[in-house]
């Protein structure tokens, strides 16, 4: 395929290399041109504007820093939207939903197809062609883009017609990472208050709790939304949350994330669900949003 | 070994079966005697009091509902502490640190050895001999108890001389599960606001983010405590937290756990660490407790 | 003065009446014209566009629903910005800081003076001329606007040259109200768990704790930033937070705001400030933002 | 009256002085005897044990550091409970509900009357006889104690038969203070990010928002539990919470308490109550605890 690629930074450059290795023709643009030039030796053609990268290409991919940078490469006389009707734009940048929605609309007006295609993976994963790609937008556009997307990642999730869904899911995924980091930080701090090294806490938690697909098991329970058959009852979970907090009084160890789940378990019990499985905590989170599973 | 076992409920009964299958002689006691009787057919001897279970045994194991139940089987004329000096008690019950500390002291006064041995695993894991056991207490007592502990689980972690450390780590582990449940619940609610089914959110998150030992990688970063070489910068994480929150305004979707990590990322940036890896969030959690890694 | 007024809803209409009663000439515009017409009987002149309200007036005041409505009355061929150079615009709408900053810039380009003038007070206060007005922007513009502002409120706070400061302070004030509402809600729920009616909790708390300028006293302590001379030590506050949480276990009563302050008190103690006055909690909040008082 | 008083520290000493000035006979005990001796010059009789302070007195008052100190002066051969049947004990110490409940029971067994009488006020208020006293316990005991209680404070709230209610309300009151301190700290930090001094934030907030009995007004709304007639709609409050948070991104300013109320407002809107008065936030707090007002 003839592919335009805008944004050849730490993520974009290895993505371009994957495309070249798969035999695609790639025309690249980067705001700081020197970064793009480095790819010329590897077979990419370098151009001066985003519009030039898009013109004549079967599709153009963007991978830039943030919402502002994405708008900058789309708008104006040199922008992708100015490259004429019929194009296809896959935005791999992590964008906010408002920006993604606005972009989808602007492309429609310009008679260009638009896909939101944010990715999971760090630069090392990009270099190894092991990104995961979340793609959403019109099915026909997705079919056109699929070969290029598959060249860049180990898997592509198709998420329906509304481009914004892919952005929301990317953000939801990053949220789970933040939550995990904070969780580990608090768990380590608690361990340290009892003389246990963080490495040891990590080893025990990772071996004991995460070896057996626990996230999948709990995820299915929460997704199913039926908590009445308790494996581990919510009132026991509430008790353990209180005991964890009592343990944290040595030090003391501030644990704000524990505080949140403790109060949510208290609410679960106060609402008369103490005998349900403690995964009901996850059900309450959905219920707060007005969802009834 | 001759082993006493107190508490033959949904966790205790399968643990006794594992001991019997490994060839140990087991004397059992349960407050509701009928539950203990069921094990008689499988070779256990049933007795009327915790003290009788402990007397003459090389070690006694307890697995009861909570701190109050544990104290009840230890204290009084029929309790384990009344069974005379020289005994060894492994408490597998999930106990608070204050109760564990008091028990350790009481056993010392009664000239009995005490180990805290809480376990990770649900009844199915107990039935399959696949519990993970966290053991802490005097090394000599641990050596005596090891064969029995290994009969009940797929692995035993030795956590040093202070019994309380095992209880703290068990609670820290349960905290990570609660956090994961709440995280999934909020992520599902966010997905639903954009028309993505929870099962699909689970599949994407589990495949993309948790397939590659991500918890171990982040755990090592946080344990190491050096965040200056950023794989993904904290200010970008803060940006994504804000975008996730903006995405949650559709609905709206209340996300209290996201709110906690968002504020912690704000603090990370405000303290001048925006260029550090976002795992610095975990470092801040340790620092709040006065730890300097 | 000749004053234009845009937005004659539940807040705007009584503000216009105050201006008329003070002898000003007022030209009004409202998107739904009928609402503006009601004021015609009381002496206001009704016009069809925001631009007409601004043209020829010494100043134009806006009081509309939100950021979007404010932009709508400013922009376009019928907007305030189109009314020609030399004007003075006081925006009483509660605006976000980004919108206020953008408006200030747009007025500068249009050679019009701009003041942010958000108000505290509900419609009853507006009707009684008892609003409080927070004004920020160029001093010269403030001097021109002062007589009109004073006609509408019982007091005007001048907050310096940067219009955005007034918007930030308005939002900070609204935040203190939300916090108070949540605080009361949680305190009532806790009281109810012990058979105390909310009205009684309110009476006791309001009489005992808020009769003696307690907010001013604590505010001065926190503003001063010196907590070493303790009236009530932080470690005692932390103890009380834990006791309050233990009390909430009857029910249980979920108290997420208590959870936040409890963890912040834990951090205060963990950072070695247990002997400082518990107002150090407020100091920590400032410090988290990188401020060193 | 003949009154025993145990605990003559920074709060107890001025309380004893108030009793002496009102003409009561006071027998005092303090663990560190020197502190008690200072009161001898002012007319108090000093004794060696809590039991001696209680013996022969019409009532004994305790004002010690915490739950442990209270138990220490009640229990054992020298404790208040050993002073024989018929006594009356008013515990002014701030106690946890579990300790208060246990004390009430122990006094019943010892045939002594027990009142929980925690106080609001710092040492200066005690010295001026301006404490507020929360009293709960048997009505007959309260009548006996009333003259002494009135000598020590500017007001006494009678809170019914269950002593624990007074302790819960004292803790609820202290919670409102913590919440206020954290609120001010966050509001100050937000103001500082826009160049407004904390003193100025305090002045504006205190003058504009708290001059007009706002806490009472909101308290009544929340206590009443009917939010359908909106003075200020919850969806506008949610908008302002988001704008406040956007304002806090300058800096950035971490605001964990704002985060809690923001999510609660999101839940209020998600549950279909966006048109209700924003005091519905307080109603939600009660509802989370299973209360339906």
C190-236 pLDDT tens trace: 888 889 988 898 888 888 877 656 777 888 888 888 999 887 889 98
Q: What is the pLDDT of residues C7-23, one digit of tens each?
A: 999 999 999 999 999 99
> What ranges in chain A are assigned the alpha helix state H?
12-21, 33-37, 50-54, 67-74, 97-109, 123-127, 139-152, 163-192, 198-209, 214-224, 234-247, 256-270, 280-288
B98, A246 contact by CB (below 8 A): yes
For chain A, which ranges sit under pLDDT 50? Answer: 293
* Cβ neighbours for A69, distance < 8 A, ≥ 6 positions apart: A7, A31, A93
Q: What is the pLDDT of residues A46-65, one digit of tens each?
A: 999 999 999 999 999 999 99
pLDDT-derived band at D293, boundaries 50, 70, 90:
very low
Amino acid B255: pLDDT: 87
Report which of A189, A186, A209, A197 is spatially closest to residue A261, judged by C-alpha positions.
A186
A132, A154 contact by CB (below 8 A): yes
Nearest to C254 among A242, A255, A263 (CB): A263
Nearest to D289 among A270, A288, A290 (CB): A270
Q: Give the three-state DSSP class for C212.
A: coil
Q: What is the mean pLDDT of chain D?
A: 91
pLDDT-derived band at D216, boundaries 50, 70, 90:
confident
Nearest to B189 among A67, A192, A286 (CB): A286
Q: Does B272 touch chain C (CB under 8 A)?
A: yes
Q: Please report, rounded to a whole number, the percentage of residues in chain D having pLDDT higher than 70.
A: 98
Amino acid D211: pLDDT: 61
Contact C270 A259 (CB under 8 A): no
CA of D263 to nearest chain A CA: how many angstroms apart? 10
DSSP secondary structure letter of residue C82: G
How far is Cα B291 from Cα A227, in angstroms, rounded to an integer? 39
CA of B268 to nearest chain C CA: how many angstroms apart? 9
C183, C176 contact by CB (below 8 A): no
Rounded to a whole number of angstroms, the CA Rg of chain B reads 23
Contact C272 B288 (CB under 8 A): no
Q: What is the pLDDT of residues C151-185, one digit of tens each?
A: 999 999 999 999 999 999 999 888 898 898 898 88
Mean pLDDT of B97-119: 96
Main-chain phi, psi angles of C38, to 5 degrees: -55, -25
Residue D114 has pLDDT above 90, yes or no: yes
In chain D, residues with a C-beta closer than 8 Å to the C-beta of A289 are 267, 270
Q: What is the pLDDT of residues B128-163, one digit of tens each?
A: 999 999 999 999 999 999 999 999 999 999 999 999
Closest C-chain CA to A243: C246
Main-chain phi, psi angles of A276, to 5 degrees: -75, 165
* Cβ neighbours for B126, distance < 8 A, ≥ 6 positions apart: B11, B14, B15, B18, B119, B152
C188, D223 contact by CB (below 8 A): yes
Residue C293 has pLDDT above 50, yes or no: no
How far is Cα D230 from Cα A151, in angstroms, rounded to an integer? 56
pLDDT-derived band at D16, boundaries 50, 70, 90:
very high
pLDDT-derived band at C291, boundaries 50, 70, 90:
low
Closest A-chain CA to C235: A252
Residue C75 has pLDDT above 60, yes or no: yes
How far is Cα C209 from Cα A29, in angstroms, rounded to an integer? 65
Mean pLDDT of D210-216: 68
CA of B291 to nearest chain C CA: how many angstroms apart? 9
Contact C266 A260 (CB under 8 A): no
Closest B-chain CA to C264: B288
Mean pLDDT of D67-77: 96
Report which of B40, B42, B45, B35 is spatially closest to residue B12, judged by C-alpha positions.
B35
In chain B, residues with a C-beta closer than 8 Å to the C-beta of C255 are none
Mean pLDDT of C280-284: 89
Q: How far does chain D reach from its first CA to its final CA, in angstroms?
A: 44
Q: How far does chain A reach from its first CA to its final CA, in angstroms?
A: 44
Q: What is the pLDDT of residues B40-54, one digit of tens each?
A: 999 999 999 999 999
E strand or H helix that includes residue C284 = helix C280-288
Closest C-chain CA to B263: C288
Report which of D118, D56, D130 is spatially closest to residue D92, judged by C-alpha positions.
D118
Q: For residue A133, what are the CA distances in angstroms to A91, A116, A119, A157, C179?
A: 11, 10, 4, 6, 41
**pTM (2 d.p.):** 0.89
Q: Does D275 touch chain C (CB under 8 A)?
A: no
Amino acid B293: pLDDT: 46
How far is Cα B168 from Cα B159, in angstroms, rounded to an integer? 11
Closest D-chain CA to A288: D267
C177, D208 contact by CB (below 8 A): no
Contact D259 B263 (CB under 8 A): yes
Which subunits have 3 or more CB–CB pairs within 8 Å of chain D? A, B, C
How far is Cα D248 from Cα D260, in angstroms, rounded to an integer? 15
Strand order of the β-sheet with A25-29 is: A45-46, A25-29, A2-6, A59-62, A88-91, A113-116
Q: What is the pLDDT of residues D220-236, one digit of tens each?
A: 888 888 999 887 889 98
Q: Does A272 touch chain D (CB under 8 A)?
A: yes
Q: What is the mean pLDDT of chain B?
A: 92
C265, C241 contact by CB (below 8 A): yes
Q: Please report, rounded to a whole number, the percentage of residues in chain C having pLDDT higher than 70.
A: 98
pLDDT-derived band at D152, boundaries 50, 70, 90:
very high
Separation of CA D84 from chain center: 30
Report which of A18, C51, C263 is spatially closest to residue D260, judged by C-alpha positions.
C263
Q: Kindly list the structural domains of chain B, giving each domain's residue range(s) and its CATH number in brackets, ordered by start.
A: 2-162 (3.40.50.720), 167-288 (1.10.1040.10)
DSSP string across D216-271? HHHHHHHHHT---S-SSBHHHHHHHHHHHHHHTTTTT---HHHHHHHHHHHHHHHT
Closest A-chain CA to D271: A290
Better pLDDT: B90 or D206: B90
Q: Which of B41, B170, B228, B239 is catalytic?
A: B170
Mean pLDDT of B232-248: 87
Main-chain phi, psi angles of A200, to 5 degrees: -75, -40
How far is Cα C68 from Cα C79, in angstroms, rounded to an integer? 13
Angle at B59 between CA B55 and CA B63, to 5 degrees: 100
In chain B, residues with a C-beta closer than 8 Å to the C-beta of D251 are 266, 270
Strand order of the β-sheet with B153-158 is: B119-120, B131-135, B153-158
Q: Does A281 touch chain C (CB under 8 A)?
A: no
Q: What is the pLDDT of residues B9-25, one digit of tens each?
A: 999 999 999 999 999 99
Closest D-chain CA to B245: D242
Main-chain phi, psi angles of D90, to 5 degrees: -105, 110
Report which of B246, B245, B264, B263 is spatially closest to residue B255, judged by C-alpha positions.
B245
Residue C58 has pLDDT above 90, yes or no: yes
E strand or H helix that includes residue A28 = strand A25-29
C80, C63 contact by CB (below 8 A): no
Main-chain phi, psi angles of D180, to 5 degrees: -65, -40
Rounded to a whole number of angstroms, the CA Rg of chain C reads 23
Q: What is the pLDDT of residues A82-100, one digit of tens each?
A: 999 999 999 999 999 999 9
Q: Does D77 touch chain B (CB under 8 A)?
A: no
* ipTM here: 0.90
CA of A236 to nearest chain C CA: how many angstroms apart? 13
DSSP string across A100-124? HHHHHHHHHHTT-EEEE--EE--HH
In chain D, residues with a C-beta closer than 8 Å to the C-beta of B238 are 252
Q: Does B252 touch chain A (CB under 8 A)?
A: yes
Q: What is the pLDDT of residues B256-284, one digit of tens each?
A: 998 999 899 999 999 899 999 999 988 89
Residue D292 has pLDDT above 70, yes or no: no
Q: Which of C170, C220, C228, C239 is catalytic?
A: C170
Dihedral-angle region of residue D275 (phi above 0 means left; psi in -120 to 50 means alpha; beta otherwise) = alpha
Mean pLDDT of D139-168: 96
Helix pair B256-270, A256-270: axis angle to 10 deg = 170
Q: For residue D58, what are the CA distances in angstroms to A152, B15, D136?
A: 86, 60, 18
CA of B111 to nearest chain A CA: how many angstroms apart? 25
CA of C187 to nearest chain D CA: how many angstroms apart? 5
Amino acid B229: pLDDT: 86
Contact A272 D290 (CB under 8 A): yes
Nearest to B172 among A157, A201, A285 (CB): A201
Q: Does C67 touch chain A (CB under 8 A)?
A: no
Q: Does A267 touch chain C (CB under 8 A)?
A: yes
CA of C256 to nearest chain A CA: how many angstroms apart? 6
Whether residue D35 lies in the annotated active site: no
How far is Cα D110 from Cα D76, in angstroms, rounded to an integer? 13
């Amino acid at each position: 395929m003839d592919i335009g690629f805008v944004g050849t930074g730490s993520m974009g450059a290895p993505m371009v290399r994957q495309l070249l290795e798969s035999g695609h023709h790639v025309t690249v643009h980067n705001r700081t041109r020197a970064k793009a030039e480095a790819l010329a030796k590897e077979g990419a053609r370098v151009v001066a504007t985003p519009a030039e990268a898009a013109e004549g290409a079967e599709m153009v991919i963007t991978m830039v820093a943030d919402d502002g940078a994405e708008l900058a490469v789309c708008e104006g006389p040199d922008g992708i939207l100015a490259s004429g009707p019929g194009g296809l734009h896959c935005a791999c940048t992590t964008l906010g939903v408002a920006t993604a929605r606005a972009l989808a609309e602007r492309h429609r007006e310009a008679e260009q197809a638009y896909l939101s295609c944010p990715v999971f993976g760090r630069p090392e994963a990009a270099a190894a062609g092991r990104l995961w790609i979340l793609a959403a937008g019109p099915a026909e556009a997705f079919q056109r883009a699929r070969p290029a997307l598959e060249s860049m990642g180990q898997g592509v999730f198709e998420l329906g017609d509304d481009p914004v869904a892919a952005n929301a899911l990317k953000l939801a995924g990053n949220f789970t990472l933040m939550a995990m980091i904070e969780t580990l930080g608090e768990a380590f701090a608690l361990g340290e208050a009892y003389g246990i090294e963080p490495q040891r806490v990590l080893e025990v938690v990772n071996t004991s709790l995460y070896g057996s697909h626990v996230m999948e098991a709990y995820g299915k329970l929460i997704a199913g939304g039926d908590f009445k058959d308790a494996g581990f009852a919510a009132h026991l979970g509430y008790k353990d949350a209180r005991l964890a907090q009592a343990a944290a009084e040595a030090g003391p160890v501030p644990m704000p994330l524990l505080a949140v789940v403790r109060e949510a378990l208290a609410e679960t019990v106060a609402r008369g669900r103490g005998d349900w499985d403690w995964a009901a905590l996850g059900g309450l989170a959905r219920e707060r949003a007005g969802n009834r599973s």
